[in-house]
Structures are given as structure tokens and as C-alpha cells.
Amino acid sequence: MTYQAPTSPDLHVADEPLELAGKHILLCLTGGIACYKAAELCRALIKAGATVQVVMTEAAEQFITAVTFQALSGRPVYSNQWDKREANNMAHINLSRAADAILIAPCSADFIAKLVQGRADDLLSLMCLARPLGSTPLLIAPAMNREMYAHPATQRNLAQLQADGATVLGVGTGFQACGETGDGRMLEPEQLLEDVIAFFAPKLLLGQRVVVTAGPTYEAIDPVRGITNLSSGKMGFAIARAAHEAGAQVTLIAGPVSLSTPRGVDRIDVKSAENMLQAVINKAHEATIFIATAAVADWRVAAPSDRKLKKDGTGSTPQLVFEENPDILATVASSPAALQGRLFCVGFAAESHDLAAHAQAKRLRKNVPLLVGNIGPAAFGKDHNALLLVDAAGTTELPRASKRSLARALVNEIARRCPSPAQ
């Protein structure tokens, strides 16, 4: 079979399923200035495909109106346990039974204490106490002053909530409305959305420790110039995010790129191929899966100048001598852990032509069980790609789609091929 790669980045890509399609979220607000962020979160959840029912406490209504959330969600807001819209007058039962998750954002220190104590004196606390523990998860996004957050009582309460089965999504750090700076801010809407998506993702890599390399490397010519390539790192970052969503502990080793670190992923920034190799060696011995997505420079300048190379007006050009960079993938694939089957290695091949032949040859040469090929010029810097999976059985095409969607599909393929950590 001859692989026919897409030649244009503007080819039509079929509509992809929304990440929260079919999910019904109870978005609940308690009192706090972070209520303004909940409006954007409501919008983001809906754009991701969820239906959203908003529940507000009396304190929350002091910070933002129910009208705002009715307009954003397209549903009337609930705030009273005696709401007569419910035929049986049991909103706390009906709402919790219909939900795929209860997300309290913002969740105040007072309401956290109320949950720990099992108090049920308003609609939201009643609903949380009455939720079916086995089918309606509770997600908490704390929001409070830094001293309130650091207080031993609050920390005990958060630990108890987790022990009781709730998922605490953490807090942000930075400037607070009170004028102080520190931990306790509610996470930003896009961060919470990422956490909610990850929460619902199948945990296909639970227990796995994954190392991903991403982006280009940069090889210095002199202090201000260097050799690099057009890799944006988007594919590798998407894979790191997808592996985290799948339950893995993920370390992302990134060349020089301007991308935000995916939630829950540990990141190590490097510059050159040698820097990347050392970082990989330091982490690979702990890993069970290694995914070499980075576009590592094949060569480097043998003797970079310590001063800027300048034109002298004669038309002469500097004579650069190159030497080969270390092969990171081959180095890891030849390690005892890989050879003994304790480390599953996945390589990437960015080619300009004859993808299937070059990818299969590279897989055999580097002795890896799975090689992922793509046409570099059609993928670098783009949000979409098409992949060709090459293994001992042959090739499998992953048609053109968003890199995020492809990353999840690739993680599924890796999970299918990779032994569990217990084996």
C-alpha cells in the first residue's frame, strides 16, 4: 500500500466529537468574587459539548446574577430547596440524579467546611449530601484568600473531602481581590475545563509513567545564531496532555517552544539535542513508556563561536564544520529496560516524501515497536495533522484531524500495545 499524505493544510477536516458531548454538568456557585470566572467556565463547558445546569447559593447571588447564567446555560437557575418548579418539591434529589458530575466553582472555605460536616441547610448542600456516591462525582474548585486557604482547618477539611471521595481540583497562585498575593485563587476557566475533560477520560494508562519529548532543538552557531527547524511542539504537547488524561504520570521534555504546559504534566525545558538527551536519560529509567515526538536536529556545529560571527565586507563566509548529534530514540531503545520489555518506545518520523518506506526503515533501524510517521511540511506549526502508525504488522492510517484528537487516538493505540505496569 502506498501512503498518500495530505498536501495542503487547508484540506477539509471532518467535524470531531466535542470533548464533553453527552455530559450533563451541575455547575454550582458559592459566595466569592471568583463567581465572575464561573460565567466563562459555563460558556466553555457548553462549547465543549456539555449541558449545564447552574445552582447558586444565596451568597453567590451577591456577586453575580442568576440572569447571567440563565442566558449562558439556556436553563433557569436553581437556588432554593423549596423551588416549586419541581413537581415533587425535591430539587436536591432530581438535580443530583440527572447529573454526570457536580462541579462547585467557586467553592468557598465556608462551604468546604459545610460539606465535611454533612450539613444540609440549603439547596446546594442538600444536593451534595443526597448525591449517589457511586454515580455522581463531586468536583471542588476552591477559591479564597491565601490565609484562609493555608489555615490548618481548611487543609484538614480539603483532605477529608478527598478521603470522602470528592475530587479537589487545586488552586491558582497570584494576585487576589483583597490585594494580597498567594495560593487560593480559583483556577482559570480554561484550566478547570481541562481538568473536567481529563476527569471523564478513560484511564487507559493508569499506573504508567510516560516521558514525552516535544518541539525542536536549537544548535548554536554563535551567541546569537543557531540551527533549528519549524516544529512547534503542538503534537508532543497534545500527546503529553492525552497521556495525562489517560491516567499516566507524565514528564514532558520540551525544546524551545512557546506553548503552555498541559495541566498535571511535569515539564523540563531544554535547548540542544545534547541537553535533551541528558534530560531523557535522567528520566527514562523511571518510565514505562517513552514517546520521542521531538524534531531533534541531526547535526550541530562542531565548534560554535563564543562571539558573534560578523561580515567583514570581503564577501567571505564562515566555514562551519558539522558533527552528528546523538540519536536519542536509538539510545533509549537500546537500553536494558527497553530490550527487556520494561520500557515501550514510540518514535516519530517527520518526512518530506515516501513516508511509509522511510518510517518502516527508521523503525527497524532504531528497533522500536511503534513508529509514527507524518509529513513534516504539512504538519509543522499547524493545528491538524495525519499520522501513519508503523509496526511489525504493517501500517495503520490515522486520518487528518486535530492534533489533540490524534494524540488521544495514538494514546489508545499505545495502551493497546503496551503491557500494563504490573506485567
Give the active site residues. 178
Question: Using CA atoms, how far apart are residues 402 and 325, in angstroms rounded to an integer?
Answer: 31
Question: Using CA atoms, how far apart are residues 52 and 376, in angstroms rounded to an integer?
Answer: 40
Nearest in space to 59 (alpha carbons), one of 26, 91, 33, 85: 33
The answer to whether 20 and 198 have CB atoms below 8 angstroms apart is no
Burial (Cβ within 10 Å: 0-12, 13-18, ≥19) of residue 119: middle
Strand pairing category for 209-214 and 299-301: unpaired
Question: Using CA atoms, how far apart are residues 295 and 214, in angstroms rounded to an integer?
Answer: 7
Cell of 145: 484568600
Label each residue of the chain as H, E or C. Answer: CCCCCCCCCCCCCCCCCCCCCCCEEEEEECCCCCHHHHHHHHHHHHHCCCEEEEEECCCHHHCCCHHHHHHHHCCCCECCCCCCCCCCCCHHHHHHHHCCEEEEEEECHHHHHHHHHCCCCCHHHHHHHHCCCCCCCEEEEECCCHHHHHCHHHHHHHHHHHHCCCEECCCEEEECCCCCEEEEECCCHHHHHHHHHHHHCCCCCCCCEEEEEECECCEEEECCEEECCCCCCHHHHHHHHHHHHCCCEEEEEECCCCCCCCCCCEEEECCCHHHHHHHHHHHHCCCCEEEECCECCCEEECCCCCCCCCCCCCCCCCCCCEEECCCHHHHHHCCHHHHCCCCEEEEEEEECCCHHHHHHHHHHHHCCCEEEEEEHHHHCCCCEEEEEEEECCEEEEEEEEEHHHHHHHHHHHHHHHCCCCCC
